[in-house]
Amino acid sequence: MIAQAPASRPLLGQAAIVTGAARRIGRAIALALAEQGAAVAITYRGSKEEASATVRDLQDLGVEAGALFCDLTDPASVQSAVDTAAARLGRLDLLVNNAGIFASLPLEEVSSEEWDAMFAANTRGPFLMAKAALPYLRKTRGRILNIGSLGGTHPWATHAHYCTSKAALHMLSQTMAKAWAPEVSVNCIAPGMIVQGEVGPDYEHFAHKTPMQRNGTAADVAAAAVFFATGPHFITGQLLGVDGGLGL
């Protein structure tokens, strides 16, 4: 059963699943959705302890919450996580495909295994999650939010496989939006440089060249996620940059 929360919370009575949300950006998104009243299931792969801590913090916000193991590269693991989340929370209104991997390598040094691993996590994983969630989301006129990247629209030479996997995720968001309308809306956020406590000359360099004169935060991305979770269902197939103008 979904716990009752103050009626001012717009996501009260709704249930979300956020992938890779034990820590960092996914955790911030999960907590922001819970603040709006949503029951939240998070998935983790390696970060079991951090996932337990995040669940406790979600529950402290007065919502139903749980953590489920999910390896996005394994279709059976994905199906099990989605079915378990929907069964435990009683419904599914929102899927946030946040989990992903990032790597830096000269393009000519990317092996076929590294290329496939990047796409398995960043592109195929969100597809498998969305496909598994679709029957539940159709019942609730739900939503899917994919976390893409500024790298999906800008060619970063030493992150070619990452950039290409995110560009594919951006296109997947548009094709899913068209294929699954009118029941399900699908949108995508493209964060720029998001820092979470890291310091150093590289971060200062990016802050300086960002028109907004700072790097982004997990809270910036989470606020955009709340917009897509609570805003008009009519908005679909959109890509929203959260980059302080870095991509301009």
Ligand X SMILES: NC(=O)c1ccc[n+]([C@@H]2O[C@H](COP(=O)([O-])OP(=O)(O)OC[C@H]3O[C@@H](n4cnc5c(N)ncnc54)[C@H](OP(=O)(O)O)[C@@H]3O)[C@@H](O)[C@H]2O)c1
Element (H, E) at 33: helix 24-35
Instruction: Work out how close the CB of 46 gets to ligand X at its nearest, in angstroms, rounded to a whole number.
Output: 3
Q: Does 160 bind ligand X (CB under 6 A)?
A: no
* Catalytic, out of 44, 136, 162, 203: 162
Instruction: Work out how close the CB of 168 gets to ligand X at its nearest, in angstroms, rounded to a whole number.
Output: 13
Which string of b and e fits 116-144 if b means at least 16 CB within 10 Å? ebbbbbbbbbbbbbbebbbebbeebebbb
Name residues contacting ligand X, limited to 15-34 (CB under 6 A).
20, 22-26
Concatenate the DSSP letters of all residues of 5-29 into one string.
--TT-TTTT-EEEETT-SSHHHHHH
Q: Does 37 bind ligand X (CB under 6 A)?
A: no
Look at strands 94-97 and 143-147 and give their pairing. parallel
Quick check: 89 and 63 in contact, CB under 8 A?
Answer: no
- Is 44 catalytic? The answer is no
Question: Count of residues binding ligand X (CB under 6 A)?
Answer: 25
Q: Which stretch binds ligand X (CB under 6 A): 1-9, 57-65, 92-100, 232-240?
A: 92-100
Q: Which stretch binds ligand X (CB under 6 A): 45-53, 82-90, 104-112, 227-235?
A: 45-53
> Using CB under 6 A as the criterion, what x/- string covers residues 93-112 for binding ligand X?
-----xxxxx----------
Q: Which is nearer to ligand X, 147 or 224 (CB)?
A: 147
In whole angstroms, what is the distance from residue 42 CA to residue 52 CA?
A: 10
In whole angstroms, what is the distance from residue 125 CA to residue 127 CA?
A: 5
Q: Does 44 bind ligand X (CB under 6 A)?
A: yes
> Which residues sit opposite 18 in a β-bridge?
42, 96
Q: Which stretch binds ligand X (CB under 6 A): 43-51, 132-140, 174-182, 225-233?
A: 43-51
Element (H, E) at 67: strand 65-69
Name residues contacting ligand X, limited to 170-229 (CB under 6 A).
191, 193-194
Q: Which of 17, 42, 70, 82 binds ligand X (CB under 6 A)?
A: 70
Both tokens of 222, joined, read 């989470």
Please identify every residue annotated as catalytic. 162
Q: Tell me which residues touch ligand X (CB under 6 A).
A: 20, 22-26, 44-47, 70-73, 98-102, 121, 147, 149, 191, 193-194
